[in-house]
Structure formats: C-alpha cells, structure tokens
Amino acid sequence: MNSQTPANVPNIENWNLLLEGKVAVVTGGGGGIGRGISELFAEHGAIVEIAEIDAELANTAVQEITSAGGNARAHIMDVREESDVTDLQKKVLDTHGHIDVLVNNVGDYRPLVRFLDSSPDSWKEMYDINLHHVFLVTHAFLQSMIDGGGGSIINVHSVEGMRGYPGDPIYGAMKAAVNHFSTCLASGFGRKGIRVNGMGVDLTQTPQVNYISGYEDADHLWEAWAPVGRLGWPEDQARVALFLASDLSAFVTGHNIPVDGGSHAGGGWFFSPEAKRFVNRPKTL
Ligand SMILES: NC(=O)c1ccc[n+]([C@@H]2O[C@H](COP(=O)([O-])OP(=O)(O)OC[C@H]3O[C@@H](n4cnc5c(N)ncnc54)[C@H](O)[C@@H]3O)[C@@H](O)[C@H]2O)c1
C-alpha cells in the first residue's frame, strides 16, 4: 500500500499556539535574539528552558515570560562547559523526559582579533563560543528528541558564515561550520523525525551588536545597507525561529536561511540614496 498521502502533513490545530506543550531549550535565551526567541516561543505555548550565563538576564526573562502567562525556567550556566551542559541535560530530561525544540543561539565575534594578530589561543576562544557548544548541547539532547518522536533543531549562526568575511576569517569559519553542521545533521537524522536548519543572522539590534549608537546621523543609509531598508530586531529573528521550530516548516530541513534584511542577497550592490540607483563601486553613497 502507498503510504504517501496528504495525511502525512502534520495538522495545525491552533495557528495562534504553534508550539503548544512543546519543550524548547534556548541557549543564550536571556538576552538579545535568544530572549526574543524565548518570549515568542512561550507566547506560542512552549515550555521554555533558558540556558544562560547571565543570572540577571535569565531571571528577568523568566519573570517577564511567566507574568505574561508563559512557561519558562532559567538554568544559569556556561554552555562552553561540558559539566554545565550535563547538568542542564539532567534537569531538563528529569522534568520532561525529552525535548521537542533546541535553539543553539549562543555566539560572539568578540574579542575581534585580526588574523595576522591571532594565535591558537584566540582561535580556540572563537571555537569555544561559536562552535564547540553547538556540538555539546546537540549531542546532549538529540537522542531524547528521537525517543520523544522527533523535533526541530535551529542553529543561529551568521551571514558571515555564508559569505566572505574579511574582518575575521576564524569567526567566519566557525559560523560556516555551524551552517554546514546543520545541513549534515539534517541529512543524517531526517528519517528519525529530526529537522535541522540554520539562521544566518545580520543587522539585528542586540546588546552584542549596537547598530544605532554612533550611527545616529546615518539613518538615511539603511536603504543602502539592507535591501529591506531598515534595522532588524530580535522579534524579526524570533519569527523565523518560530517557523523553523513549528510544523509550519515540517517539510523544510538542512537549510540555512539568511535572516539579514537581505544583506546577503544584496551584497556587492549598494543602493545609493543620493544617486537613486544601485552602485557596486561606491565612492560615496
Ligand atoms: N545581532 C546580530 O546582528 C548578529 C549578527 C551575526 C550573528 N549573530 C549571532 O546571533 C546569535 C545571538 O546574538 P545576539 O546579538 O543576540 O548576542 P547577545 O550577546 O546580545 O546575546 C547572547 C546571549 O547569550 C548569553 N551567553 C553568552 N555566552 C554564553 C555562554 N557561554 N553560555 C550561556 N549563555 C551565554 C548572553 O548572556 C546573552 O544573553 C549569536 O550566535 C551571534 O553570533 C548576531
């Protein structure tokens, strides 16, 4: 008998509660993009387990989510530390038995060290904060996701892992590794009900990257810097994460979506507000 029928498309019962009852782990879920993701997931009915190094941020996030009627818990920890990740795994699985969604969001370009000044120590630092924990946390939860009937893994990386980044090729390489890890993991575990996708972030206002400060007089240049013509916010990232976490994207796996206001697509060609045309060798914009 042919098992290929439209009934294989998961039913969405409530489009306003896309993650109802789902258990979601969000690393770095207390601040920036991770905070936006935690809030939107909770709004859509998820039980959010926030893995966060900053206690104040973590506790504030949980307070605000719960006072808005959501469900969240904080784990104050460093995702780079294997013992911390083992503790997280134990606490989360002791409570729920499995997880449905994992968002590996922690990452940082700082301290920015130019390649000629860099060293094995600085390479290791970039590796630890951008890549090692993605392996650690994924490894800690993947089996429980399979046993629980499947789930979605979302790896937040950077547009710099999808295009040439002259500023720091080590950072770019770590983000590209997260990008490709997502694709490889997806191809290996799709048949076990696991979907894996990456988000190539750019141009999003957070505590880590302040795009406004120092650029107050350059507001008119946003239409040059981003095809959508504006700065992005954690909510912009969270909406894409919600799509990837939920059954809305049930047939999407192994992909890396630039969530960048179009900077990747538009790279190389800048819109000049002054000339009112696209230029690829701007002397001024
Ligand atoms: N904001 C952007 O425009 C932008 C651009 C490219 C890539 N990114 C990527 O997006 C992701 C989120 O960035 P963001 O701008 O929201 O950063 P952010 O620094 O504002 O927020 C990161 C959160 O993670 C927490 N955190 C940091 N180290 C941790 C650790 N070791 N263990 C647990 N928690 C830790 C921080 O306390 C903070 O709450 C990162 O992977 C970053 O590289 C962001």
217-250 confidence digits (pLDDT tens)? 989 989 888 999 999 999 999 999 999 999 999 9
- Probe residue for ligand 1, chosen from 48, 83, 201, 233 as the CB with the greatest number of ligand atoms within 8 Å: 201
Residue nearest to atom 30 of ligand 1 (CA): 78
Cα of 203 vs centre of ligand 1, distance in Å, is 13
pLDDT value of position 279 = 80
Is the CB–ligand 1 distance for residue 84 below 6 Å? no
Question: What distance in Å separates the CA atoms of residue 171 and residue 127, rounded to the nearest whole number?
Answer: 8
Catalytic residue among 109, 127, 165, 171: 171
Q: Whose CA is nearest to atom 17 of ligand 1?
A: 208
Let me know if residue 281 belongs to a domain: no
Burial 127-136 (b: 16+ CB within 10 A, else e): bbbbbbbbeb
Q: What is the pLDDT of residue 45?
A: 98
Name the residue with tokens 């040059």.
224
**11 lies in a domain?**
no
Nearest CA residue ID for atom 44, ligand 1:
201
For residue 181, the model assigns a pLDDT of 99
pLDDT of residue 85: 99
Is residue 1 domain-resident?
Answer: no
Residue 1: per-residue pLDDT: 73
* Domain contains 273: no
What pLDDT, in 10s, does the model give residues 210-226? 999 999 998 998 988 89
* pLDDT value of position 275: 85
Q: Which residues of the chain have pLDDT under 50?
A: none
> What is the reported pLDDT for 274?
85
Residue 95: which domain range?
17-216+228-267
Ligand 1 center–CA 218 separation, angstroms: 25
Question: β-strand 151-158 against 194-201: which pairing, if any?
Answer: parallel
Number of domains in the chain: 1
Residue nearest to atom 23 of ligand 1 (CA): 28
To the query of whether residue 127 is one of the catalytic residues in this protein, the response is: no
CATH code of 237's domain: 3.40.50.720
Tell me the two tokens of residue 85. Answer: 């990740």
Residue 284 lies in a domain: no
Q: Is residue 275 part of a domain?
A: no
Looking at the domain assignment, is residue 282 inside a domain? no
Query: Do the Cβ atoms of 158 and 202 come closer than 8 Å?
Result: yes
Whether residue 97 lies inside any domain: the answer is yes
Nearest ligand 1 atom to alpha carbon 130: 41
